Amino acid sequence: MAHEPTASSSGPAGMDDAATAFLAGGNGPDARITEQSLRHAPGPYFGSYGGRWMPESLIAALDELEDTFEKAKVDPEFLAEVAELNKNYSGRPSLLTEARRFGEHAGGARIFLKREDLNHTGSHKINNVIGQALLARRMGKTRIIAETGAGQHGVASATAAALLGMECVVYMGAEDCRRQALNVARMQLLGATVVPVTNGSQTLKDAINDALRDWVANVETTHYLLGTAAGAHPFPAMVRFFHEVIGEEARAQILEQIGRLPDAVCACIGGGSNAIGIFHGFLDDAGVKIYGFEAGGDGVETGRHAATITLGRPGVLHGARSYLMQDEDGQTVESHSISAGLDYPGVGPEHAYLADIGRVSYEPITDAEAMDAFKLLSQTEGIIPAIESSHALAGAIKVGKRLTEGAATPSDIVIIVNLSGRGDKDVETAAEWFGMLDEDGHVKGTTLSTRSSKGAAPTAEANADENAEDATHE
């Protein structure tokens, strides 16, 4: 399953300049781009998905944004400014770290983590907000609004607004405000106003609805800084553009570190921004399998999940035609996930297209599987991942076991996992999940135990092994 390095492999020289990598992600020359290329699809449609299913009031703003983006992405001055901030503010390129002990639990495959968790603000989200905030400034907008689920995009938006001296209002479901109180405080400390949304399911989809209402009313002064590769054109293509740097870097880094491309790339999928970013580096590499892991919640058979591609149907929500969790009447079905960032009943339209043509495999991961992987990475590598990213880690364990099955040397299998964010924000959720809290909500001990409902707690190491053996329990 080994791949030869391609002519465009960049080696050390190619990776020491984040600006070069970023610039190459736009319209720069790239030997891999052919007529059959799946990369850099411009929108508004990806197959039959995408488009603009939006109120007329917002079309002029979308046109202005599209025009500004199309000009900016070929403007060396703009690209250089993004690249400079990526390098000297966000901390790009992010590392590609081999997770050797974790890999032992994935059939012995070599697992490499693309460390977006090391970015400023702790997730991949900063890539997109830097780009969009600069576009907002170009358009003369003075105010940014954003929606957020887990709070990572809200924190990133508040950060970019602070950096550029703009007003920032973040809409967040009231339920998510509760789940992610630490991030609410972070946004407020950064100077943003957080508006708890009490409509509907009080989660990400409802936060988007309220952000859209704000945008309709204030579009002259305000840019809606959408946080994922979904929504009306040009958002899916534009958000992807700012995240393509993840895949560009990862591809060059793996070529540098092991001299060939990976066998598989894994990422978690809510709206799908981190995933589309890393996928784009590998879409034209036919030998690389690509996997997106959706939030399976309590299990897709229970109805309490956010596995949009797995069980959704094509429909229209928040401005785009894509897969959607909906009932027989076309009413949006409320999603469920332990991960606020994946708790969304829609998905970016480019993912819908990639699923239909079979280039990317999308599979659900349950809350329990994700939390097992969360603990496993923490205890085998000393890296506490975001619960969102833990879905990708759990998926990588499954993929690793599949690809190494019967292999004489499992370590020949190489998998890159996009570690989209760090788990600081999720510590309370994890502590609750693992039964670490007493009745007053205080931490009971210093060692992670399994959830109290599962009975006796084995030692951490033994427990990690047990979970790796049976990542699908529950």
Partner 1 sequence: MSEATAPATGGKSAGNQGAASKSAAAIDRAKAAGRKALVAYLPAGYPDKQTAIDAAIAVARNGADIIEIGIPYSDPVMDGAVIQAATTQALANGFRVADVFDVVAAVTAQTDAAVLVMTYWNPVLRMGVDEFSRRLAEAGGAGLITPDLIPDEAEEWFAASDKYGLDRVFLVAPSSTPERVAMTVQATRGFVYAVSIMGVTGARASVSSAAEAVVAAAHGAGAEHVCVGLGVSKPEHVREIAAYADGVIVGTALVAALRDGGVPAVGELARELSTAFDPATPTTTTGA
**Residues of this chain that bind partner 1 (CB under 8 A):** 51-61, 63, 199-200, 205, 209, 212-213, 216-220, 313, 315-318, 324, 326, 328-332
Q: Which is nearer to partner 1, 191 or 314 (CB)?
A: 314
Whether 48 is a known active-site residue: answer no
Whether 273 is a known active-site residue: answer no
One of 73, 114, 125, 141 is an active-site residue; which one?
A: 125
Query: Nearest approach, Cβ of 411 to partner 1 (angstroms)?
Result: 48
Query: Nearest approach, Cβ of 60 to partner 1 (angstroms)?
Result: 4
Q: Which is nearer to partner 1, 59 or 74 (CB)?
A: 59
CA 307, chain centre distance (Å): 15
Task: Report which DSSP code applies to 332.
Answer: B
The rounded distance, in Å, linking the Cα atoms of 448 and 458 is: 9
Query: Nearest approach, Cβ of 174 to partner 1 (angstroms)?
Result: 15
Q: Which is nearer to partner 1, 33 or 316 (CB)?
A: 316
Whether 35 is a known active-site residue: answer no
Strands ordered across the beta sheet of 193-197: 193-197, 167-173, 143-148, 222-224
- Cβ atoms of residues 349 and 370 within 8 Å: no
Query: Nearest approach, Cβ of 231 to partner 1 (angstroms)?
Result: 11
CA 430, chain centre distance (Å): 19
Alpha helices in 323-447 (DSSP H): 349-356, 367-381, 387-404, 427-433
Of 424, 370, 394, the C-alpha closest to 102 is 394
One of 123, 389, 420, 449 is an active-site residue; which one?
A: 420
The rounded distance, in Å, linking the Cα atoms of 162 and 165 is: 5
Q: Which is nearer to partner 1, 37 or 199 (CB)?
A: 199
Q: Which is nearer to partner 1, 74 or 217 (CB)?
A: 217
The rounded distance, in Å, linking the Cα atoms of 107 and 469 is: 10
Token code pair at residue 375: 């603990």
CA 99, chain centre distance (Å): 20
Query: Nearest approach, Cβ of 319 to partner 1 (angstroms)?
Result: 8
Q: Which is nearer to partner 1, 55 or 259 (CB)?
A: 55
Query: Nearest approach, Cβ of 351 to partner 1 (angstroms)?
Result: 18
One of 104, 147, 244, 350 is an active-site residue; which one?
A: 147
Of 79, 72, 85, 89, the C-alpha closest to 138 is 72
Of 186, 201, 193, the C-alpha closest to 166 is 193
Helix axes 125-138 and 59-72, enclosed angle (nearest 10)? 100
The rounded distance, in Å, linking the Cα atoms of 309 and 295 is: 10
The rounded distance, in Å, linking the Cα atoms of 277 and 64 is: 24
> 265 in helix, strand or coil?
strand
Query: Nearest approach, Cβ of 333 to partner 1 (angstroms)?
Result: 8
Q: Which is nearer to partner 1, 117 or 350 (CB)?
A: 350
Positions marked active-site: 125, 147, 420
